[in-house]
Amino acid sequence: MECIETKIKDVKLIKPKIHGDSRGFFLETYQKNHFKDIGIPYNFIQDNHSRSKKNTLRGLHYQLDKMQGKLVRVSNGCVYDVAVDMRKGSPTFKEHVSFILSDENQFQLFIPPGFAHGFCVISDEADFEYKCTEFYNPNSEVGIMWDDPDLDIDWPISDPMVSDKDNKNFLISEIPNELIPKY
């Protein structure tokens, strides 16, 4: 496994070692000691799996109470994945990183607690799987508009399918101070 540092210190891109031959492949997606060795010492307590159609955009979400760190991967298809640093006081506050995650590259992305997260599907369909460091609490979730001009995210789709809930998210400039996690 190779850990690739990103422009935001605590976000890590992980390239697993893939063992393949004419029959297919095998890879280890998680091993607690290996992740601890690369600076991800979290205990993951919940696994999630979503399937989405092409041009679906989910996010950008983060939690206030019991913030979730996430280890995300794509087991089928391809997505454009985005993490936004929402930790007030962080040197990279309001900055984002983005990566292509796919069943071909098998990359994983670790997104620490205090980051907003979202993705859009750029293949016909995608299975998106992720581990969380805390249980999901819908009453603690805050959303940021995917097309917020202050974030200037270069999404690779122009007319995404977005949920009604996500269409009501905040612009980052309108988020009340009490809804921004501290660093």
Active site residues: 61, 130
E-state strands within 54-168: 57-63, 70-76, 78-85, 96-102, 108-111, 115-121, 125-132, 141-143
Total residues found in the chain within this entry: 183
The neighbour count for residue 28, using CB atoms within 10 Å, is 11
User: CA nearest 101: which of 2, 8, 5, 15?
Assistant: 15
